[in-house]
Amino acid sequence: MSVSTASPQEKIPQARYGIGEMVRHRLLDFRGVIFDVDPVFANSEEWYEAIPEAMRPARDQPFYHLLAENAESSYVAYVSQQNLVHDDEGEPIDHPAIGTLFEGFDGQRYKLKPEHRH
């Protein structure tokens, strides 16, 4: 008889991306910089149900808060890990809130301002 010794933390998928990293949506045409991470889905049921069922991501994965941009606008996005890939463009994100959260861009990632670190 085998007994599982996995802790609850081991059952939660690990975040693949970190705060300050630049990512792109795998299916939609936008990119952004991560400013927060939820270990599992933590948005409203209405938001989740508004996603077409065929595209709806699993809840038990990390979800990322992004300062996002596309060709037309800047906005805040909430995206599942399965729908993100690294952004290798090397160009900064043109979002009006960048300066409130981050203090610099090194060509690959943004550095979080000290007052926002915890």
Q: What is the pLDDT of residues 44-96, one digit of tens each?
A: 999 999 999 988 999 999 999 999 999 999 999 999 999 999 999 889 999 99
Give the number of other CB atoms < 10 A from CB of residue 117.
Answer: 8
Is 80 within a domain? yes
What pLDDT, on a 0 to 100 scale, did the predictor assign at position 116? 84
Q: Say how far apart CA 63 and CA 57 lie, in whole Å.
A: 10
Give the number of other CB atoms < 10 A from CB of residue 108.
Answer: 12
Q: Do the beta carbons of residue 34 and residue 65 sit within 8 Å?
A: yes
Is 97 within a domain? yes
* H or E stretch at 9: helix 8-11
Is 53 within a domain? yes
Is 70 within a domain? yes
Q: Say how far apart CA 79 and CA 55 lie, in whole Å.
A: 12
- pLDDT score of 10 more than 90: no
Q: What is the span of the domain harbouring residue 28?
A: 13-116
What pLDDT, on a 0 to 100 scale, did the predictor assign at position 93? 94
Digit-coded pLDDT (tens) for 93-116: 999 999 999 999 999 899 999 988
- The amino acid that residue 90 corresponds to is G
The residue among 3 and 23 whose pLDDT is bigger is 23
**Structural domain total, the chain:** 1
Q: Do the beta carbons of residue 98 and residue 33 sit within 8 Å?
A: yes
Is 4 within a domain? no
